[in-house]
Every structure is written in structure tokens, then in C-alpha cells.
Structure 1
């Protein structure tokens, strides 16, 4: 561990590696958030069906799942640096490629490739942070990173809506491509290598064996399901809200952008609370206290749409309260699940992201189907409430398993 200690001792690495990772992550978010107010314009320009609008998000998430099986084990064997640097460069090129799209199909292919950035960031970038810092510091640092990155959903729709009054929507992707390239340069000069001892040579048998071991771990499985269920209300909202509020609700792009501010602002506020005020974010008592906040938000969304007629108030209010509740504990849930076993963390992270993105992609499609074909906002938010209740049960099971593991390790000592 001396190589990690030496790197941490370098102030420049402490500062500039997280900054470059944040810029890369921030840019990846912007590919969805800046175009979100104009996605209906994209669909119409390519003469496609409006029902394809949410596919821009679901295919992005599918891209984020596509390479998980490869990148985690690969980074365990060849190192974190070469894998993340390759991903940042691919992302920049995929954003630039949007400038040359002439059909909805080409646009969606570009979105799929852009989505692979999720693989590189979550499976390699975040794991590097977790490996370089101890538990409490890593959780707080991830909360800070998340807080900064989530400014993208706040300013992205507003900037996107404003810029599209002056430039074509494709120019947005050109700007993001430049940001991605700057992030690549930052990683090139500042990213540490936390894998000193390379793993076994890359082989299909070895990869399959590692994945099998991960998916046989009860704590990992419970944590993965808990995190996946917690994502459903937020990701379904991100994907379907343009159809709800712009296409059906009649809001302008600018009005829609403002409705997203309280939702993502709530997540940022929650992460700031964790980073600044919570001494032990891994405390089971603190984690349990967040659950009533989450469920209250989901109930507000359902009850408000059931009892009152308003195009956006109850949906936005309920989703914002939920976002604050889940933002309080997400970095901790990720840490718990990642370190649930002693297997290579690249493989564990890849396994986790495969589960999360599979569930999210499916939930976007289910949410779109429920809203468009099964009754509108009420049943859409009911899906979110069901997932929130299920998440609470799995969270309780996760905490129980962690307690049993801790007691077992203490008894062995």
C-alpha cells in the first residue's frame, strides 16, 4: 500500500485527479441533461415517432452496461489508468460523431456509444477513488464528487434550453466533446495507478470464475438490488419527464428545465449534508433514518396526482423529497456493496453496474409504457412507490447481513 500512500501525499494528485474525473463524469451527464429540453426537437427533426424520445436515455444506459463484463476484469489485470484513459477518448469521439448524424437511428447509436462512459467512470474511476482512500474519507469524497457532478442536471437543461435559442442542438454535443477531451488530458497527467500487482492473465475462464464468485455473495446481491431499486424513481423520471411535461403538459423547454432544478438540487443538498455534517455516514442508524424521507416523497407524488390536478407540482415535489432521501445514503450503499468480499474490485464494480443498469434500462421502458399506454402520471408514480417500498425491505436485509458479517469477523479474531 506504500504506492497509494505516496500518491495521496502529493497535493497536486489529490486535487487534479478528482477534478479530471469530475469533468469526465460531468460531461457524460451533460449528454443527457443538455439535450433533454430539446429531445422532442431532435425527434421531430429526424421525422421519428415521439415515443422514441425516452430511448435516448435507455440506450445510453444500455451502452453503460455493454462493456461492464470486460472493463472491470480488464482493469484488474492491466491497471486502472489505461482503461479509463481509453474510455475518456472514446466518449469525446462519440460526442463529436453526433455532428454527422442524419437519422434518429444514427443518433441513437451515438448515444449508445456515449453511454459506455458509464462503464469506464463507475467501474474504473470510482473504484480508483475507493481504493485510494479509507472508508469514511472515500464516502465523503464520493459525496463531494456526486454533489459537483449533479450540478449537470441542474444547469444542463437550463443551458441547453438557452443555447438552443441561438445554436443548433448538435453544437451542444460539440461543446461536450471539447470538455471530454480536456478531461482526458487531465486524467493523462494526473490519474494514479492503484493496481501495483497485476492479476492473472486475461482469460474467459478467469473472468467467468470471478463473476461467478461475486454473484454468489449474499451481501453483494442484496446491496446490488437495493441500489438498483433506489435508482428506479429517479431514472424513470429523467427519461419520461420530457414527454410528461413538454409533449403532453405543454411546458416550454425553459419551463421544463426549471422543474428539474429542485429534483437534482435535492440530491446535491443531501450530498453536501453528508460531506459536511455527518460524522459517520456508514452508521446503520443514519441509514435507516433516510428511509421515511424517501417514502414520504414517493407518497406525495402518488397522492398529489390522485387528489389534485396539476401538470407538474406534485410530481416534482414528490420526486425532489425522494431525491434528498436517497442522496443521503447512496455513497454509503455503493461502498458497502463494493467491499462486500475480497475479490478484485474492478470485477465487483462491473457486476454491480451490470445489475444497476439492467434494472434502470428496464424501468425506463416500463415507465414509458405505463405512462403512454396504461394511464398517465398516477400509475407512473405508483411504479416508483412500489420500487421504494421494495428498496426499504432490501436495505433492512443488507444492514442485517453486514451486522452478521461484522460479528462473525470479530468472533474469529
Structure 2
């Protein structure tokens, strides 16, 4: 292995730590959220709202960071984002009210804004199959974190104050900052100065690209059921079902491990495997799982098993869907991934708040959540069918994961 290849792999490893920590910081604190709202004498609605604000923070800077990445270089931005996340994480434990807690969590979420810069570098530095495989690994952190997060968080809060969750997260942030500063490639800026008119034209072209917008809408919507489960499950399981932390952790592991397994399976695909097959197969598996979860909503074991099937299907099509969407744009990869990250977070935050409003109306219960997912999966399946139909017959139908 060449020195350059080894450095790229170390860069990917430390970037993986950075991204994993951003999600882990949120998921480690979820088991403690009911205790936090009680400590601050707040309502249970703030449990999912904390997640929504964290995601909104993660959508607040992308469109500005995209042009800056092309002007000052991606390395500086990623290191800045890591530093911001580190400082905000250290500030969270000193909140004295739910308002302060949510405000600092919003700022902490801004660290998410810088992740797309690393994604852009990966798509630029690696060929199609390598990019899909590495993106799949990175995407799996969004599910690996909910698996490991509740276990670590429950272990911490069983012996220590919830604030130590953020001290651990700050330690990981320091590790990724030091590692990235040493291994992240120094890329030359692609433009010498900001051309605001050109930036506006590029963003206009990206946001007017029907295939990109449709793909990102579908990807954002498809992520909602699992993200909503992460945000609402402390209420469903710990409060409404009055189950133990062990049951809560077990449900998280069963439901979310399907995504990790499908990500591992994708790593074993041959180089010329068509993306369209992943999209169709994943959509079919996801639909079967989600409809089964709705039908079995009164039986927790059946519900969990069917949600496991959904997460497998989601893991199969998610990476291929995102890759197909961002490559539909011919604009700067940095600006395109910035737009992708912005849309992704906005869609997630909006849908989570809709779930929150409906749960306030009909009750924070597992049955309510399962029924809400049924129309969502119908729309997801229809969108995937339309998206893959656009890939059939044209040049993109044969988009195969070939080496360059």
C-alpha cells in the first residue's frame, strides 16, 4: 500500500470517528432525556424536540460552507467544524434550563454541517464503487450510533450524572480533531475568490435539477421512520411501556442492526453491480417490513422483527439513492453535497416535528408511530419506483459501479 493510500485510509478513519461521534453524542443522551426534562421541569415534547433542533443546527450552514470549501479549501472547514463541535459539546453540561440545553444542542448540531465537506472529498478522491462502499460505511454510523449510543449512555447514567455523556463525546471530538489535522489531505481551492453570481447560478441549477431534488426528497423521507424511532423510543419504551433500559437497548439493537447488516452486504458486491437493482430490491424489502410492522403493532416482538426487515431494505437502497441523486447534478460536488446535506436535515426536522404534533394529538404510543409509518412507506415505495423508472432505458440505467 502506498503512503498516499495509507494516508487516505487514516483520513477516512478519523473522519469516521468525527461523524460517528456527532451521532453518538445525540444517541448516548437519549436514555437520559426523560430525566433531563424532569430535572429542568419541562414537558415530554422536548425529548423529540431536542433531536429536531440538533438536526436543524445541522442544516443551518451548508449553503454558505459549500462556496467557502471551494474558496479556502476543505481541510480548513472540516477542522473548523470539529473544533466548533468540541467547544459546543463542552458547553452542554453547563446548561441550567431546558432552553439553554436546547440552544447549545442547536449549536452542537452545527458540527453536522461540516460533514458534507468530508463526503465531498471522499467522492472526489475515490472511484464509484469505493465511494459507494465508503459512503455506506459512513451512512451506517447513523445506525451504529443508535445501537452503541443507548448502551454507552445507559451505562454512564447508571453510575454517573448525564453530563458525563458529553465529557466522553468531547474526548472523542479531541481525538478526531488531532487525527484529522495530521492525516487530512491538503486540497488546493478550486476557485481563487468568491463569485456570488456564479454561486447563485450553481445553486439555482442544483435546486432546479428535478432528479436531484426528487432523489433527496425520497432519501430524506426514507430516513424518517428510523430517525423518528430514535427520537421517540425513550417515550414509547421507557415511559409508556414502562420497560427497563435492557428492553430499550434490546429493541434498539434488533430494529437498527438491519441497516448495519445490509451495509456489510453491500461491501461484498462486485464492482459492476447495477445501482438500480439495489434501489428496487431495497425498496421491496423495506415496504414489506414496514407494512408488517404496522400490522403487528400490538405485539412488540413482531413489530421489532418487521422493523428489522425495514432497516435492511433501507440500508440496501439508501447509499445507491444518494449516489444517483448527487451524480445527477453536473455542478460542483462540494455545492451539490452541501445542498444534499441541507435538504436532508430540513426534511428530517420537518417530518419529525409532524410526527411530534401527531403524537401529541393521538398519544405517544408505539401503535401511533407504527400507523404513521404506513402512509410514509407507501410514498417511499412509489417514489423509488418513479426514480428507478427514470434510470430504465437511458444512460443512467446502466450506471454500474465500475472502477475508473
Q: Please indicate the TM-score interval, normalised by the length of the shorter structure.
A: over 0.9
2:361 to 365, 368, 373: 373
Q: Say whether the 8 Å CA contact 2:274–2:398 is kept in structure 1.
A: no
Q: Say whether the 8 Å CA contact 2:53–2:349 is kept in structure 1.
A: yes
Deviations 1:31-61 (A, max 9, x none): 1111111110111111111121111100011
Deviations 1:265-295 (A, max 9, x none): 1111000000024544543123211222101
Question: How far 1:113 moved relative to its partner?
Answer: 1.2
Q: Does the alignment pair 1:55 with 2:49?
A: yes
Which residue is equivalent to 2:33?
Answer: 39
Provide TM-score, normalisation by structure 2.
0.92
Question: How far 1:103 moved relative to its partner?
Answer: 0.8
Q: Say whether the 8 Å CA contact 1:30–1:152 is kept in structure 2.
A: yes
Query: Residues of 2 paired with 1:407 and 1:276: CA distance?
Result: 22
Q: Does the alignment pair 1:25 with 2:23?
A: no
5 Å-filtered alignment, 1:226-245, equals 226-245=218-237
5 Å-filtered alignment, 1:228-267, equals 228-267=220-259
5 Å-filtered alignment, 1:292-371, equals 292-305=284-297, 309-310=298-299, 312-371=300-359
Which residue is equivalent to 1:385?
Answer: 374
Bigger shift: 201-210 or 12-21? 201-210
1:183 to 176, 184, 187: 176
Query: Residues of 2 paired with 1:126 and 1:323: CA distance?
Result: 22
Change (3 A) 1:148 1:248: closer
1:134 to 115, 127, 133: 127
Q: Say whether the 8 Å CA contact 2:19–2:141 is kept in structure 1.
A: no
Which residue is equivalent to 1:205?
Answer: 197
For the residue of structure 2 that corresponds to 1:35, the secondary structure is: helix
Which residue is equivalent to 2:262?
Answer: 270
Question: How far 1:364 moved relative to its partner?
Answer: 1.0
Question: How far 1:74 moved relative to its partner?
Answer: 1.5
Change (3 A) 1:112 1:385: same
Q: Does the alignment pair 1:118 with 2:106?
A: no
The root-mean-square deviation of aligned C-alpha atoms, in Å, is 2.2
Deviations 1:120-146 (A, max 9, x none): 11x201111111111111111222333
Structure 1 spans left out of the alignment, 5+ residues? 1-6
Question: How far 1:149 moved relative to its partner?
Answer: 6.1
Q: Say whether the 8 Å CA contact 1:24–1:180 is kept in structure 2.
A: yes
Q: Say whether the 8 Å CA contact 2:211–2:328 is kept in structure 1.
A: yes
Change (3 A) 1:61 1:408: closer
Bigger shift: 90-99 or 315-324? 315-324
Q: Say whether the 8 Å CA contact 2:91–2:104 is kept in structure 1.
A: yes
Which residue is equivalent to 1:220?
Answer: 212
1:94 to 88, 91, 94: 88
